Structure 1
Amino acid sequence: MNELVSIITPTFNAEKFIRATIESVLNQSYQNWEMILVDDASTDKTIAIIKEFTIKDNRIKLTELLKNSGNGFARNMALEKAIGKYIAYLDADDIWLPQKLEKQIKFLKDNNLPFTFSFYDCIDEEGNSLNRRVEAPLELTYHQLFFCNHVGNLTAIYDIDFFGKIVIEATQKRQDWRLWLTILKQIEVTKPVPEILALYRIRKDSISSSKFKLIKHNFGVYRDFHGFNFVFSVLLMTRFLFTQLIIKSRYIKKI
């Protein structure tokens, strides 16, 4: 149980959060990892902060893009550089709890799974609890995922030996949901670790904080990624919104 985990972290102007994010990786009980950070031409102190860590720990690796190319491009470049058996995702403002990797890898092996994720709690920009916990079905099928993204990006991990490196077109929005759909289309069903293993930071300027942007990008998954025509995509989006209101709300708990 000591295979290398490659942690994919794109960064852009994350000086306020990146230190806590990296420290949450350093504090992992499972220590065989590499953290691949690709900075998307930040204009703040993000790069300087990351370099403080790269000097002290060669498992933390930084690539600097010369021009801003988008989060998807940075994520794909990090994936290209990954050499681990497992790929895990951690955005530059989120935090892992100390036993996140250890528990997930054990769960993968115990359940003979090539992909899993976990529950997570939500925090604000200052790191304060929002008293909101996001859970998921204990068996997640492709059909369920098709109408609701139950997988938090900061909690997902998959086995390269099973899937290979899965690259989603960099220009597409909701790259994470498209990735999980690609995975579950192959294996049909998976299970989450039924524990809180990470903290998701909700920022005022994030896509998840803007309902209009979120609806627009989710519609794009049906229209562009799946290739459905406009009318059918509208119908699917209607079902998606119904699922969010009725089904997913059951998995969002007040704590």
Structure 2
Amino acid sequence: MDKLVSIVLPVYNGEKYLAQSIESVLNQTYKNFELIIVNDCSTDSSEEIILKYKSQDDRIVYIKNEANSKLPKSLNNGFAIAKGEYFTWTSDDNMYHIDAIDTMVGFMEQHTDVGLVYCDFNMINEEGEFKYKVTVGNPEEQKYKNTIGACFLYRRSVAENVGDYDTSLFLVEDYEYWLRISLSYRISPLHMCLYDYRWHNDSLTLTRSTEVEQSVARLHWKYLTEYEKSDMPENELFEYLDFLMKYCNQQSERIRIKLKFSLKHKKYVIRELRKLFSRIKSK
């Protein structure tokens, strides 16, 4: 028997594209799933749309937050009642390709040493027209940028081990969660395009880009101690340093060269990184 997949769909005023998002789940070739829709106190017609689909398909589970709680709390509320052996979540403005869940479950069943799989996806515009394809990065790059993207699947056992999404990290809750997973489990890219990510004027990525950038910087600061304890290879450490300095608009070639030749002294490197992020932490 196919293993149950729990798909959480957080919704906040998503009436414009919500029906398309729900239908992309219901139309999956993989049939053994539960769709847990979490309404974060929407004030538009989202609830009406949700109830319409729930009345037509008993695989839909509907819960409504008592107060507007934002994305990470909505995810935690949804997964708290999830029954599946595999977990994933999607957004109210994005869509799965018809074979997305089937393909990812098949990959995970064949690769039992993988804790999380993530896939390529298409960027589409407001009208749903193709813009370009996004090829996800390698697992090693996850240390300094979010390579996982929008289409992924992970094991229930992984979620039970790493815990909930951090409600204090709104806007980067997903990236922080992937970092936590990647510290303890093997993550693997699957270079098949299985998802449509919609770029539109009301998306969080666009409307709060400055906040996202600051939150990502703080997240890197938080994980410095984890990398300090880990046995990161020198080439990966320099790539991480190089990225962070560019991220902080630190363009000094002299400093970059100095750090590059100091990689064997990890304590020095970490100290320099802390200097870079001291101003961010104090904000």
Query: Above 0.5 in TM-score?
Result: yes
Partner of 1:140 in structure 2?
Answer: 139
Q: Tell me the residue number matched to 1:123.
A: 124
- Mapped to 1, the partners of 2:154 and 2:43 lie a distance apart of 32
Tell me, in whole angstroms, the C-alpha distance in 1 between the residues paired with 2:78 and 2:7: 9
SS in 1 for 2:136: coil
1:16 maps onto 2:23 in alignment: no
The 1:163/1:52 distance shift into structure 2, 3 A limit, reads closer
SS of the equivalent of 1:196 reads strand
CA distance in 1, matches of 2:147, 2:248: 14
Aligned to 2:166: 169
Report the Cα distance in structure 1 between the residues aligned to 2:47 and 2:65, rounded to whole angstroms. 11
What pairs with 1:56-205 in structure 2 (closer than 5 Å)?
Answer: 56-112=56-112, 113-130=114-131, 132-137=132-137, 139-141=138-140, 144-153=141-150, 155-164=151-160, 166-173=163-170, 174-187=172-185, 189-205=186-202
Check the 8 A contact 1:73/1:171 in 2, yes or no: no
8 Å CA contact retained: 2:116, 2:153: yes
What secondary structure does 2:55 align onto?
A: helix
1:30 Cα deviation after fit: 0.3
Report the AA paired with residue 130 of structure 2: S
1:178 and 1:225 in contact (8 A); partners too: no
Q: Given residue 145 of structure 2, which amino acid in structure 1 is its aligned partner?
A: C
Cα displacement string for residues 204-229 of structure 1 (whole angstroms, at most 9, x for unaligned residues): 1323225423311211212346579x
**Structure 2 counterpart of 1:120, one-letter code:** F
- Gapped regions of structure 2 (runs ≥ 5): 227-240, 250-283
- The residue type paired with residue 68 of structure 1 is N
Offset of residue 237 of structure 1: 3.5
The root-mean-square deviation of aligned C-alpha atoms, in Å, is 2.3
- Provide the rounded CA distance (Å) in 2 between the counterparts of 1:96 and 1:215: 27
Change beyond 3 A, Cα 1:22–1:219? same
- Output the amino acid matched with 1:179: Y
Q: Report how far residue 140 of structure 1 moved.
A: 1.5
Q: Is the CA contact (8 Å cut-off) linking 2:39 and 2:65 kept in structure 1?
A: yes
C-alpha contact (below 8 Å) 2:73/2:165 kept by paired residues: no
4+ runs deviating over 6 angstroms: none
Write out per-residue CA displacement over residues 135-185 of structure 1, whole angstroms, 9 at most, x where no aligned residue. 123x523xx1011111113x1110113452631221313111011111110
Match of 2:2 in 1: 2
Deviation at residue 121 of structure 1 after TM alignment: 0.4
Q: Which has the higher contact order (CA 8 A, sep 6+)?
A: 1
TM-score after normalising by structure 1: 0.83
Determine which structure has more spread, i.e. the larger CA radius of gyration: 2
Q: What TM-score, normalized to structure 2? A: 0.76
User: In the alignment, what sits opposite 1:217?
Assistant: 215
Q: 5+ unaligned residues in a row in structure 1: which ranges?
A: 229-233, 243-255
More deviation in 51-60 or 209-218? 209-218
User: How far 1:114 moved relative to its partner?
Assistant: 2.4
- The answer to whether residue 28 in structure 2 is matched with residue 28 in structure 1 is yes
SS, match of residue 158 in structure 1: strand
Task: Give the share of equivalent positions with the same residue, in percent.
Answer: 24
Count of matched residue positions in the alignment of Structure 1 and Structure 2: 232
